[in-house]
Amino acid sequence: MTDAAPPADANTPAPAENGAGAPAGPGFRILAQYVRDLSFENPKAPDSLRIDGKPAIDLGVEMNAQGRKDGLFEVELRLTVKATTDAMTVFNVELLYGGLFALHGVAEQEIEPMLLIECPRYLFPFAREIIARATSDGGFYPPFMLDPIDFAAIYMSRQQQIARGPEAAKV
């Protein structure tokens, strides 16, 4: 696999092409990025802005992808962050961040890993910034910064769970 090429602009050189004018090697282009849904809750403000110590963080990560009739793919990254103390919910952020991708030169067996590992890896820094900005705008300083996420490990764990069958999912 190859890393994603950034969106083309005047400062970005065009990717290497083969003789037919198509980019060389497998990869993808991102055609659009968007916030589908964003929710920020600070239910105990202003008291939540003055807590002692660090709150417990519960992080949820989901990746979903689907093909479209036009041959493009929609990839969604759902991030949920809930910060709590023994006494209160400090904040709760839910973000559904998406991208529209065009794949090229990707073998059929590599499409799913490309969509659920590489594409979310590209979307993550933008989603991370949105969450940081939401917590900052909510009055938290420093803003909450998500640690990097290993999308390959999440994908592999999901594949192992599927291989074990529906009974393993209930555990």
Say if 60 falls within a structural domain. Answer: yes
**Stretch (H or E) spanning 93:** strand 89-104
Say if 9 falls within a structural domain. Answer: no
* Strand arrangement, sheet containing 56-67: 27-41, 89-104, 73-84, 56-67
Instruction: Give the pLDDT confidence score for residue 23 in this predicted structure.
Output: 54
Of the listed ranges 18-22, 120-124, 125-129, the least confidently predicted one is 18-22
DSSP string, 34-75: EEEEEEEE-TTTTGGGG-SSPPEEEEEEEEEEEE-TTS-EEE
Question: pLDDT: is 7 or 83 the higher one?
Answer: 83
Say if 112 falls within a structural domain. Answer: yes
Instruction: Give the pLDDT confidence score for residue 145 in this predicted structure.
Output: 93
Say if 119 falls within a structural domain. Answer: yes
Range of the domain at 163: 27-169
Strand partners, 84: 56, 89
> Cα separation of 118 and 113, whole Å?
7
Query: What's the CATH code of the domain at 96?
Result: 3.10.420.10
Phi, psi of 82 (to 5 degrees): -125, 120
Say if 1 falls within a structural domain. Answer: no
Question: pLDDT: is 106 or 150 the higher one?
Answer: 150
Entry pTM: 0.78
pLDDT 10s digits, 6-38: 444 443 344 444 444 555 677 889 999 999 999
Say if 153 falls within a structural domain. Answer: yes
Say if 17 falls within a structural domain. Answer: no
Say if 49 falls within a structural domain. Answer: yes
Domain count for the chain, please give it: 1
